[in-house]
Amino acid sequence: NAIRLLKGVESLDVDYQKGVVTIKYDPEVVSVQTIYKWLQMMIDLGIDYYDELKPMWEKEGDETQKIEAIWQRIKPVLLVQLTKLK
C-alpha cells in the first residue's frame, strides 16, 4: 500500500523466495530515482517507528488486523513524507 501512494506506480509484485520486488510504473509520471527515494524513505520510517510498531505486530491476533493497525498508524506519516519527496 505504501509504495502505491506514489503517483505513477501501477503495480507491485514481491517474490519472497527470490528476494525480488518488481514495480510497474509509468515513466511519464514518476522517475526510477523518485521510486528509489520513496523506498528509502519508507525503510527509514520503518526504522524510526520500529519501537512503536513492533509491539503492534507481536501481539496476539489476526495477522490481517495487525497489518491494518500498523498501516493506519504509519499511513499519515507516509502521506506527510510524500509531500516532501522531490
Nearest-angstrom CA–CA distance, 4 and 6: 5
Question: Which stretches of the chain drop beneath a pLDDT of 70?
Answer: none
Q: What is the pLDDT of residue 1?
A: 86
Phi, psi of 60 (to 5 degrees): -65, 150
Q: What is the pLDDT of residue 6?
A: 94
* pTM given for the model: 0.80
Q: What is the pLDDT of residue 22?
A: 96
